[in-house]
Amino acid sequence: MAMHYQGFEVQIFEKIHKFLRLGDSLGLGENALRLLERWGLHDNLVAIGNKSEFMQIRHWKSGEIMAQQPLMDMAGYIGHRGDYHQAFLDRVAELGIPIHMGCNVVSYDEFQPSITLENGEVHKADVIIAADGIKSLARELVLGFQDKPKSSGYACYRAYFKGEFLKEDPLCREFVEKECVNIWIGHDVHMVQNTLRDGEEFNWILTHKDTTDIEESWFQPGDMDDVKKIIENLDPRIAAAVKKTKECLDWKICYRDPIPSWISKSHKVALLGDSCHPHLPTSAQGASQATESGAVLALCLKLAGKDNVPLATRVYEKLRFDRVRKCQLNGEDVRDRWHSALKTVEAGEKLDPEEVMIRNRWLYPFDAEADTLQRWNEVSAVVEKELRENKITPLFNVMPVQA
C-alpha cells in the first residue's frame, strides 16, 4: 500500500496458498494508523481494536490494581491479528495490487535483481522488498550467513477462543462481560488478558521463564498441565478462566541480535518488518514499526527516483535503525520492570504506579513520512558520499551469531 501510494507498481509474492485467521492479539499504534489512514485504511482498523479506555496492571496473587493506564498509551488498538490482516488484504484488493499466492521465494539474484520461486519462475523488478518475517530467507542473503535466534529465557503460552461460556462462572464473569485488558505481574512471570467483540472472544497470553529448546513457531501446541502449574497462585478470578481453556500454543520468545545492514550488497534487496527488526511482544509495536518502515522505504524510493534505488534503500535503513532499536529495547525494559516489581512490594516499599506502566507514549506522535522529508537532505548527502566511496557504515557493530 505504501509503494502504491507513492505511485509505484507493486507485485506481492506470498508462499501461503490461503490466508487463515492466525495468531491472536496484535497492537496497532497511532503512529501506524496515521500512515494507514493515508493509504485508505483507518475506521475499519479502529473498529477491530479493543474499546476499553483503560487497562489495569494487577498484582499476580491478589489481583489488586497496581496501576491503570489508558489503552492508547499502552499498545494502541489491540485486535485480532487475522482481522487486521483481512482489512489490509481487502484494501490491497481494492487498490488492484496483485498478490500471487502459493509463491514460495527460494532464491534471490540481488544484482538483476530478481526472485526465483519454487516452481522455477523468475520475476524481475527495480527493487525487491523482503518482508518475509522472522524466519527470513532474504536476511541470509543480506548477512551472508544464517543467523541463530537466541532464547530470551522466556516463552508464552497463548490461547484465543470464544469466551461466552466463561460468563457462566461468577468467578471470572467480569472479564468477559465487556471488552477489557488486564495484566497480572508476578515474579518473572506475567499474564495478559484481552477480551474482544463485547466479550465474545477471549485471549490470554502467559509469559513465563523457559530455558528449553528455542524453536520459533506460531503453531507449537502448549501443555495445559504446565500452564496450570505456573498459575497455581494466580488471582483465582483469572485463573478460573485460564483453567477452563481446552488448548493453547507454546511460543518461545526468541531474540535476534540487531543486524549490521538491512540491505543487500547490490543495494537492491531491502529487508523490512520482522525480517530485520523483530520485536518482543511486550513492545506491542511489531506491526506498527513494520508499517512505519514500509512508509519510509516507499517515500525514499520516490525521493531518490527509480534510477537511484541504492540511494533510497541506504537512506531508508539509516533513517529507521535508531528509532526501531529504541522501540525494541522498550519491550525488554517493560518486561523486566513487570517481572521484578513484586520484590519492591514484598519488601514493604510503596510502588510508584509509573514503575509498572508501559512507556510507549513517545512513539505515537511520530509521523514517519514527515520525518523522512525533514531528514532526507542531510541523510542522503551522507549516503551519496558512502556510495561514491563504496564504504557503507554498518548500522550496528556486533555481528549476530551464526546458526
Ligand X SMILES: Cc1cc2nc3c(=O)[nH]c(=O)nc-3n(C[C@H](O)[C@H](O)[C@H](O)COP(=O)(O)OP(=O)(O)OC[C@H]3O[C@@H](n4cnc5c(N)ncnc54)[C@H](O)[C@@H]3O)c2cc1C
Q: State the residues that interact with ligand X by CB under 6 A.
A: 13-16, 22-26, 81, 104-105, 131-134, 137, 218, 273-275, 281, 286-287, 290
Nearer of residues 14 and 371 to ligand X, judged by Cβ: 14
Nearest to ligand X of 137, 311 (CB atom): 137
Q: Which is nearer to ligand X, 132 or 235 (CB)?
A: 132
Residue whose grid cell is 545492514: 261
Q: What is the dihedral of CA 99, 42, 192, 73, to 10 degrees?
A: 140
Which of residues 142 and 379 has its CB atom nearest to ligand X in the complex? Answer: 142
CA distances from 198 to 201, 202, 304, 318 (A): 8, 10, 47, 43
Which grid cell sits at 113?
Answer: 535483481
- The span from the CA of 62 to the CA of 202, in Å, is 21
φ, ψ of residue 319 to 5 degrees: the values are: -65, -35
- Alpha-carbon distance of 98 to 84, in angstroms, equals 19
- The distance of closest approach from Cβ of residue 86 to ligand X in the complex, given in angstroms and rounded to an integer, is 13
Q: Residue 189 Cβ, how far from ligand X at the closest point, in Å?
A: 19
CB nearer ligand X, residue 76 or residue 273: 273
Q: Which is nearer to ligand X, 264 or 380 (CB)?
A: 264
CB of 69 to ligand X, least distance (A): 19
Q: Which of 304, 301, 370, 368 is nearest to 3 (CA)?
A: 301
Nearer to ligand X, 291 or 380 (CB): 291
Query: Whole-number minimum distance, CB 377 to ligand X, in Å?
Result: 29
How far CA 91 is from CA of 16, 129, 267, 300, in Å, comes to 19, 19, 30, 23
> Hey, which residues does 79 pair with through a beta bridge?
26
Minimum gap (Å) between residue 257 Cβ and ligand X:
17
User: 275 vs 330, which CB is nearer to ligand X?
Assistant: 275
Distance in Å, CB of 390 to ligand X, minimum: 30
Q: Which residues pair with 109 in a beta bridge?
A: 114
CB of 27 to ligand X, least distance (A): 7
Rounded CA-CA distance 256/274 in Å is 10
Q: How far is the CB of 22 from ligand X (least distance, A)?
A: 4
Contact present, 6 and 93 (Cβ < 8 Å): no
Q: Report strand pairing: 189-196 vs 180-186.
A: antiparallel
Taking only Cα atoms into account, the Rg of the chain, rounded to an integer number of angstroms, comes to 22
Q: In what order do the strands lie in the sheet with 114-117?
A: 105-109, 114-117, 122-124
Nearer CB in complex with ligand X: 88/175: 88
Cell of 42: 483507518
Length of the chain: 403
**Shortest Å, Cβ 229 to ligand X:** 24
Residues 6+ away with beta carbon under 8 Å from 218: 22, 23, 249, 251
Burial of 329: CB neighbours in 10 Å, binned 0-12, 13-18, 19+: middle
Cell of 338: 513487570
Q: What is the nearest approach in angstroms of ligand X to the Cβ of residue 172?
A: 22
The smaller minimum CB distance to ligand X, of residues 132 and 292, is found at 132
